Each structure stands twice: as C-alpha cells, then as structure tokens.
C-alpha cells in the first residue's frame, strides 16, 4: 500500500475533483460516512450513546459535520463543538454546517476566552469524542487556544476517534506541531499519510483504519508515490512457492562470514535465521580456534574453519578460501560479530572487486566501511547494508538525532548515491532501493531492542535472497517477517523478557501465518 505526504494527498484530491469530475462534497460525504460507520460500530460495542464532535475551520471539520449529521440521523445524541470563529468556515464544510443548523443539531462555539474546565466538564459527559480539528491542512504549530482544546480532549479520558490524522500531527512527517490529540483510532482516507506511519505521529494515530473515499485508482497510479508500506499480502505475493519435486539445492546456498572471539553468538543467530527462513543450506566461515564451539551449537549449519593470522578473527589470509566458497553460494552475509579490523576492510575490498554474489553487510562490516565508503564503488553485485541509526551516523557523518528526523530522505539518498539497498533499522525500519523506491515497515516492537536482533534480520535477508527473490523485495519482505516474528514472540512471552533467539524460534510461525503452510 502506498504512503503519501500531505502535498501528494492534496494533489490526489485535486486530480479527483478536476480531472475526474468527482465533486469535493461527494468525497467529503464518503469520508464522513466512513468515519460514521466506525464510530457507530464502536458505540454499539461499548454500549455508548453520546458523541461529541470537535471541528476545526477546514475540510477536516467539514468531515466532522458529516459524521455529526449521520449520527444524528441514526438517533445518536451528538453535539458539535467548533473551535474558533465559524464565520471563516467556507466551501463544502460550510454547506455541511448549514445543513446541521437546519436539522437543529446542537452546535457550540468554543472561543479563546473559554474556561478550560467548563469545556472539560462538557466533554466528560460524552462516551466518545470525534477529533476533526485539523487534517492534512495543518502546516504550523498550533496556537495557545487550539493547544488548550487539544489538551482538553486528551484530559477527558474518553475514546477518541481522529479523522484522517490526529489534530496536531504534521501529516508531512509525523512530527508534532506543539501538541496533538492522542487517538485510539484514526480513520485515514484512501492512503496512509507519512504522519500516520512515522513516529511520533504513529503513536498518536493509535489503530489505523484506512478507508476508500472514492479517489480513483487511476489517479494514484499516475501520481506514482515512491513510498510504500509493506503489507502481509505483498509479502505473501513475493515469497516463492515450494514445489513438491524439489531438493535443498533449489532453495539456495548461503555463506556467512561472521563471529570472532566473544561474539560467536552473532554468527549462530544469523545461521539459524538463514535456515529458519527457508534457505536450503548454510555454510559459516569461522576463525579456526572457534570452530569447536560453533560445531557444538550449530547442528544444521556447515562450519568452514579458516586459518587465522590473528587469533579469533577472520583476516585477509583467508581470502582465497572465502572467495571460493562465495563463488559456490547464492548469497553471502559479512559482519555480524566479526570484530572491527583493518583486515576485514581488506577482505571486503577483495570481495567487492571479485565477486558478483549478492552480499548483505551488517555490524562490523558497516563499521569497517565507515572510513572507506569509496570501497562500495568497487561492488560488482547487489549489496544490502543494514545499519541501525548509530551505524548510519558513522556511515554518513550525520548526527543520530538528524538521521532519526529524516529517516526516509537519508536512507534514500545513501541508496541512490552508492547504488546499494539500505535498511535503516529501528522502529519503522526504512528500506531504500537504488531506484529511489522506499518501503516502510510497521511490524516489530520495542522488545526487539535486544542484543542479536539485528543478526537475525541479516540471516533472513540473506536467506530470502539465496532463495532467488529479487534483492530489494527480499530485503523488504525479510524486514516485515522479522518484525512479525518479533511481534509473535512478544505476544507469547512479552516484550521484557524476549531475546533474539525467541525471534528465531518464532520465525517459522510468522512465515506460516503469511504463506499458510
Ligand atoms: N476535497 C478535499 O480536499 C477533501 C479533504 N478532506 C478532508 O479535509 C482535510 C484537509 O482539509 P483542509 O485542507 O481544509 O485543512 P484542515 O486539515 O481541515 O485544516 C484547516 C485549516 O486550518 C488552518 N490551519 C493550519 N494550521 C493551523 C494552525 N496551526 N492553527 C490554526 N489554523 C491552522 C489552515 O488554514 P489557514 O489558516 O492556513 O488558511 C487549514 O486549511 C483532510 O485531512 C480530510 O480530512 C476530505 O473531506 C476529502 C475531500
Ligand atoms: N522499537 C522497535 N520497534 C520495532 N523494531 C525494533 C525496535 N527496536 C529494535 N527493533 C528492531 O530490532 C533490530 C535490532 O537490530 P540492531 O540494532 O542491529 O541490534 P543488534 O546489533 O543487537 O543485533 C532491528 O531490526 C530493529 O529494527
Ligand atoms: K483530525
């Protein structure tokens, strides 16, 4: 499902009205009815009877007027509160306000001089509050008066349903314009806005319900938004079917170069994730002195001990053996728990110069590249880089806070500049392709902020690529499944106690949930 900015959504609204001749008031009616159905259903579930609709002066408020009319006509006790001067309301919103007046739906204007406690006392009388103050038109910080209205809605401690986006959230990026409504549910029109998806806006959005309001698919196709949300259906569509008449060679050979003294666990988690993601075979290159530990712990993986120059780390002396195994592999991952060394840089240089095998670079491989990014220019095959924000900061020399504020742009620019696939990890992981295509992931939870989670992701990405899935799709699907497995682990044992190994354990269940077998 595509994700749009506020500007793109306005463009879609305009195209729908001007090019396809669908009147704005019809879109507003569809929007209002979609919200009404959700609100009505919710009221029935909770046994509620009374609704307050708080409306602003724009079209978001207009949607609120339609919701109020529909509720009124379905015998729900409803009152409309207008925040500010109703004289400035125009267009379709005004038409709907006039209808409300003729129907004698109760309307009250809240003005800047209003006593906050009086308004709070009023709101507390309702079972549910509909928030229709601002939608995608919010473009600056809210003033003190509107800020008070928003805070009062939050303090009323009632179920809140926001229309399109919680008022106060900037639809362009999910930032907060001073203060914002904390919704339980947000009914989003046609396509999610970046502000519904990115944090902190996503937190304020609560449960997101996307409803069609009649914007033609043709308009969306011609606008061609470059950002998309990874969905279950999409992942299902790209995972290969397993045919009866096949053998392990059909599901890809993976080679993992990982682990060093003290960090063998990283290599193990990556290998286990590769196998749990459905790949046929995994070999792990491991410094010779660590081979025994790996053999004991990894039953299904094949270990390839490497002679060591420096005890416990993979180095350039091993390059011939590494290159040989790489040439026999469908995908390779380098970095989890490798330890950072000058030698690893040289290993990477050799691989980049001489191999076309798709490569996933994680952890210490990324840190080694941070000082020698130009090595990426040598790459002969597809590469996936999986930095968390701190690793991205090292790669780009941009501060972590600035990266977090511009995750999509920074991941996108890096991917295009260096012709690599970038996975910028963290809540709402961004996958950026060299083509400019962007995916945002919504699975996962804070329980995954635990040592080794990233190693598991590296294993899944590598396992999917080895199974022949095109690398960008393989990466986006892996990110989704990784988060889903994390969500299922949290569902079973909770966010606090879960460890990376629990994500691996839940991987088969996550895959089964998606493909059905
Ligand atoms: N045909 C369509 O387009 C359809 C649109 N639909 C709905 O309309 C919503 C978008 O409506 P919108 O563009 O009218 O803006 P909205 O979000 O209601 O904001 C109201 C106005 O507030 C103002 N304002 C901004 N910031 C402010 C601030 N900090 N403090 C105070 N004022 C501030 C600003 O006006 P300004 O003051 O800048 O002149 C702005 O115009 C959309 O989310 C969806 O719900 C659907 O019905 C489907 C059809
Ligand atoms: N709050 C969160 N919500 C969703 N996913 C998260 C969250 N915190 C961490 N993750 C995911 O967990 C993984 C952590 O990876 P990383 O930071 O590399 O950990 P490690 O280096 O310990 O393996 C990433 O895939 C990240 O997206
Ligand atoms: K709203």
- ipTM for the predicted complex comes to 0.94
Helix (H, G, I), strand (E, B) or coil at 28: helix
Summarize the confidence of residues 26-45 as an average pLDDT. Answer: 98
> What is the full DSSP assignment across 38-63?
HHHHHHHHHT--EEEEEE-SSHHHHH
Backbone angles phi, psi at 463, to 5 degrees: -65, -40
Q: Tell me: pLDDT of 262 over 90.
A: no
Contact 429, 444 (CB under 8 A): yes
Same domain, 194 and 339: no
Same domain, 385 and 440: yes
300 vs 55, higher pLDDT: 55
User: Within 10 A of 22 (CB to CB), how many other CB atoms are there?
Assistant: 19
Same domain, 431 and 390: yes
User: Within 10 A of 71 (CB to CB), how many other CB atoms are there?
Assistant: 25
Residue that is last in its domain, among 200, 225, 250: 225
Residue nearest to atom 16 of ligand 2 (CA): 454
Same domain, 390 and 268: yes
Ligand nearest to the CA of 490: 2
Summarize the confidence of residues 158-166 as an average pLDDT. Answer: 98
Contact 477, 464 (CB under 8 A): yes
For helices 319-327 and 342-354, the axis angle rounded to 10 degrees is 40
Ligand 2 atom nearest to CA at 446: 1
Task: Give the pLDDT score at 461.
Answer: 98
Q: Tell me: pLDDT of 310 over 80.
A: no
Q: Tell me: pLDDT of 391 over 80.
A: yes
3-state secondary structure 227-258: EEECCHHHHHHHCCCCCCCCCHHHHCEEEEEC
Task: Give the pLDDT score at 243.
Answer: 83
Ligand nearest to the CA of 364: 2
Tens digit of each residue's pLDDT (9 = 90 or more) over 447-461? 999 999 999 999 999
Give the distance between the most distant pair of CA atoms in the chain: 87
Same domain, 408 and 438: yes
Backbone angles phi, psi at 200, to 5 degrees: -80, -10
117 vs 176, higher pLDDT: 176
Contact 490, 307 (CB under 8 A): no
Ligand 2 atom nearest to CA at 482: 25
Same domain, 172 and 290: no
Q: Tell me: pLDDT of 296 over 90.
A: no
92 is in an annotated binding site: no
- Residues 253-279 as b or e (16 or more Cβ within 10 Å = b): bbbbbbbbbebbbbbbbbbbbbbbbbb
> What is the number of alpha carbons within 13 Å of residue 274 lying toward its C-beta?
35
pLDDT mean across residues, the chain: 95
Tens digit of each residue's pLDDT (9 = 90 or more) over 476-492? 999 999 999 999 999 99
What are residue 163's DSSP bridge partners? 187
The pair of three-digit structure tokens given for residue 48, joined into one six-digit string: 């509620």
% of the chain residues with pLDDT over 90 = 85
Cross-sheet strand order for the sheet of 281-287: 2-3, 227-229, 438-440, 430-432, 421-424, 383-385, 359-361, 331-334, 253-257, 281-287, 302-306
Ligand 1 pocket residues where CB is under 6 Å: 13, 24, 27-28, 31, 56-63, 134-143, 146, 163-164, 177, 189, 213
Rounded CA gap, 71 and 161, in Å?
14
Summarize the confidence of residues 156-167 as an average pLDDT. Answer: 98
Q: What is the CATH classification number for the domain harbouring 191?
A: 3.40.50.10260
Q: Provide the residue range defining the domain that includes 439.
A: 232-515
Candidate of 367, 423, 426 to mutate for ligand 2, largest count of ligand atoms within 8 Å of Cβ? 426
Q: Tell me: pLDDT of 263 over 90.
A: no
Kindly give the pairing relationship between strand 159-163 and strand 227-229: unpaired
pTM (two decimals): 0.93
Summarize the confidence of residues 39-49 as an average pLDDT. Answer: 95
Q: What is the CATH classification number for the domain harbouring 337?
A: 3.40.1190.20
Would you call 47 exposed, middle or buried from its count of C-beta atoms within 10 A (0-12, 13-18, 19+)? exposed
Same domain, 244 and 278: yes
Task: Give the pLDDT score at 221.
Answer: 97
137 is in an annotated binding site: yes
Task: Give the pLDDT score at 241.
Answer: 86
Rounded CA gap, 280 and 161, in Å?
48
Strands (E), 136-272: 159-163, 185-189, 207-211, 227-229, 253-257
Contact 462, 216 (CB under 8 A): no
Rounded CA gap, 266 and 83, in Å?
55
DSSP category for residue 511 = H
The lowest-confidence range among 39-43, 213-217, 309-313 is: 309-313
Residue nearest to atom 27 of ligand 2 (CA): 426
Same domain, 335 and 438: yes
Same domain, 417 and 289: yes
The pair of three-digit structure tokens given for residue 197, joined into one six-digit string: 């998806």
Residue that is last in its domain, among 225, 256, 275: 225
Summarize the confidence of residues 160-187 as an average pLDDT. Answer: 97
Rounded CA gap, 136 and 258, in Å?
47
Tens digit of each residue's pLDDT (9 = 90 or more) over 78-128? 999 999 899 999 999 999 999 999 999 999 999 988 888 899 999 999 999
C-alpha of residue 137 to centroid of ligand 1, in Å? 3
Kindly give the pairing relationship between strand 253-257 and strand 281-287: parallel
Q: Which residue has the tokens 């109020």?
A: 68
Task: Give the pLDDT score at 469.
Answer: 97
Same domain, 142 and 288: no
Helix (H, G, I), strand (E, B) or coil at 207: strand
Same domain, 427 and 389: yes
Confidence of residue 309 (pLDDT cuts 50, 70, 90): low
Specify the number of domains making up the chain: 2
For helices 500-515 and 264-276, the axis angle rounded to 10 degrees is 10
Q: Which residue has the tokens 């007046």?
A: 101
The pair of three-digit structure tokens given for residue 338, joined into one six-digit string: 């490798």
Same domain, 353 and 474: yes
3-state secondary structure 380-398: CCCEEECCCHHHHHHHHCC
Q: Tell me: pLDDT of 271 over 80.
A: yes
> What is the number of alpha carbons within 13 Å of residue 283 lying toward its C-beta?
18
Confidence of residue 315 (pLDDT cuts 50, 70, 90): confident
Residue that is last in its domain, among 178, 200, 225: 225
Tens digit of each residue's pLDDT (9 = 90 or more) over 319-364? 888 999 999 999 999 999 988 888 889 999 999 999 999 999 999 9
59 is in an annotated binding site: yes
């Amino acid at each position: 499902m595509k994700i749009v900015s506020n500007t793109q959504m306005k463009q879609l609204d305009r195209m729908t009205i001007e090019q396809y001749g669908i009147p704005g008031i019809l879109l507003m009616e569809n929007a209002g009815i979609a919200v009404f159905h959700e609100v009505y259903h919710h009221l029935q579930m909770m046994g509620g009877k009374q609704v307050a609709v708080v409306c602003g002066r724009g079209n978001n408020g207009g949607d609120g007027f339609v919701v109020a009319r529909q509720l009124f006509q379905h015998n729900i006790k409803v009152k409309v509160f207008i925040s500010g001067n109703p004289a400035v309301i125009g267009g379709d919103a005004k038409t709907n306000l006039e209808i409300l007046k003729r129907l004698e739906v109760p309307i009250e204007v809240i003005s800047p001089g209003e006593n906050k406690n009086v308004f709070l006392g009023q709101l507390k009388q309702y079972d549910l509050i509909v928030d229709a103050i601002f939608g995608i038109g919010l473009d600056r910080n809210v003033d003190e008066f509107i800020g008070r209205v928003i805070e009062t809605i939050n303090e009323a401690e009632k179920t809140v349903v926001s229309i399109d986006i919680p008022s106060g959230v900037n639809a362009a990026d999910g930032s907060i314009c001073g203060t914002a409504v904390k919704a339980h549910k947000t009914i989003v029109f046609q396509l999610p806005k970046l502000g519904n998806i990115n944090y902190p806006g996503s937190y304020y959005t609560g449960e997101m319900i996307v409803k069609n309001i009649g914007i033609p698919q043709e308009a969306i196709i011609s606008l061609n938004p470059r950002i998309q949300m990874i969905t279950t259906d999409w992942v299902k569509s790209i995972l290969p079917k397993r045919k009866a008449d096949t053998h392990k060679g059909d599901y890809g050979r993976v080679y993992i170069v990982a682990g060093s003294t003290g960090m063998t666990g990283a290599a193990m988690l990556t290998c286990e994730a590769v196998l749990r993601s459905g790949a046929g075979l995994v070999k792990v290159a491991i410094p010779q002195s660590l081979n025994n530990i790996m053999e004991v712990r990894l039953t299904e993986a094949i270990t390839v001990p490497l002679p060591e120059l420096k005890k416990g780390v993979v180095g350039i002396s091993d390059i011939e053996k590494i290159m040989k195994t790489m040439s026999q592999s469908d995908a390779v991952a380098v970095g989890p728990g490798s330890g950072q060394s000058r030698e690893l840089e040289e290993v990477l240089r050799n691989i980049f110069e001489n191999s076309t095998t798709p490569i996933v670079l994680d952890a210490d491989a990324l840190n080694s590249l941070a000082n020698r990014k130009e090595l990426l220019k040598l790459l002969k095959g597809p590469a996936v880089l999986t930095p968390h924000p701190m690793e991205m900061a090292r790669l780009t020399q941009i501060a972590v806070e600035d990266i977090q504020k511009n995750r999509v742009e920074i991941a996108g620019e890096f991917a295009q500049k260096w012709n690599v696939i970038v996975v910028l990890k963290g809540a709402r992981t961004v996958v950026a392709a060299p083509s400019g295509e962007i995916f945002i992931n919504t699975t996962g939870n804070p329980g995954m902020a635990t040592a080794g989670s990233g190693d598991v992701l590296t294993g899944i990405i590598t396992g999917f690529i080895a199974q022949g899935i095109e690398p960008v799709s393989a990466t986006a699907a892996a990110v989704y499944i990784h988060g889903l497995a994390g969500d299922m682990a949290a569902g079973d044992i909770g966010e606090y106690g879960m460890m990376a190994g629990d994500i691996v354990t839940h991987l088969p269940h996550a895959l089964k949930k998606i493909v059905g077998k």
